[in-house]
Amino acid sequence: MFAVLLLPGALRAFLPALLGRSALAMGGLALLLAVQESTGSFAQAGFASAAFGLANVVAAPWRARIVDRFGQRTALTALAVGQAAGFAALALLVDVDGAPDAWFPALGAVVGLTAPPLGPRCGWSGLP
């Protein structure tokens, strides 16, 4: 079962993708819980999470073109920085009392748009 991980380059491709995908899953959960805690509304948290998920799916072809055009390292680094900035802005926004509700789905969409695509042949693994 784990013999496939012994193949040359398998761990180099698997581990970064595993870490990145775990971060994406936990990011969605963190978004949901932070917005709910800040606004007191599960509906608002659901809107922000939906914007995150929808933007992630809609932007997939766009992100793939960016990776093809600029290369994996450049594109993934830029997307990761963009997503980190979106999460940082959300972290700051949840501490603001009376923040406009429209900002939460907007920033959720930014985080979803910039989610790095970590497919089987994409990542900081050095593979082509």
Looking at the domain assignment, is residue 51 inside a domain?
Answer: yes
**CA-angle at 23, arms to 122 and 5, nearest 5°:** 50
Whether 46 has a pLDDT exceeding 70, the answer reads yes
Q: Are 87 and 28 in contact (CB under 8 A)?
A: no
Looking at the domain assignment, is residue 29 inside a domain?
Answer: yes
Ramachandran quadrant class, 71 (left: phi over 0; alpha: psi -120 to 50; beta: rest): left
Q: Which domain holds residue 63?
A: 16-113
pLDDT at residue 119, as a whole number: 60
H, E, C per residue of 66-101:
HHHHHCHHHHHHHHHHHHHHHHHHHHHHCCCCCCCC
pLDDT at residue 107, as a whole number: 93
**Residues 8-16: what's their mean pLDDT?**
78
The pTM score is 0.78
How many independent structural domains does the chain possess?
Answer: 1
Looking at the domain assignment, is residue 124 inside a domain?
Answer: no
Looking at the domain assignment, is residue 5 inside a domain?
Answer: no
Looking at the domain assignment, is residue 120 inside a domain?
Answer: no
Whether 26 has a pLDDT exceeding 70, the answer reads yes
